[in-house]
Amino acid sequence: MEWMFQITYDRSNIRLKAKLVSSDEKFEIVKVIARNRTLTFKSNRPILLSKGLKHRKITWELIEGVMNNMYLQKEITKHLGDYLRVYEK
């Protein structure tokens, strides 16, 4: 599954492409692609949903790539979580 989203930062729009790389009963791995950088995030959303904890906060972990700006990292994970919540399997 692939989708595009946009983040506003410092009066400019950053367009990003996200791709769900793998999903099993415990973790999801999502790759985020920008113009010159690729980041890979891992979430625990499937295990929370399988245990019925749909209101618990999803934990996102950066497993590949380097992110220097914590604000952008939080915005990216927020958009990933919102998209995956709407388009559940």
DSSP 68-79: --HHHHHHHHHH
pLDDT of residue 53: 87
Q: Please give the model's pTM, rounded to 2 decimal places.
A: 0.86
pLDDT of residue 89: 53
pLDDT tens-digit readout, 9-36:
889 999 999 999 998 999 999 999 998 8
d(CA 15, CA 8) in angstroms, rounded, equals 9
pLDDT tens-digit readout, 52-89:
887 888 899 999 999 888 999 999 999 998 898 887 65
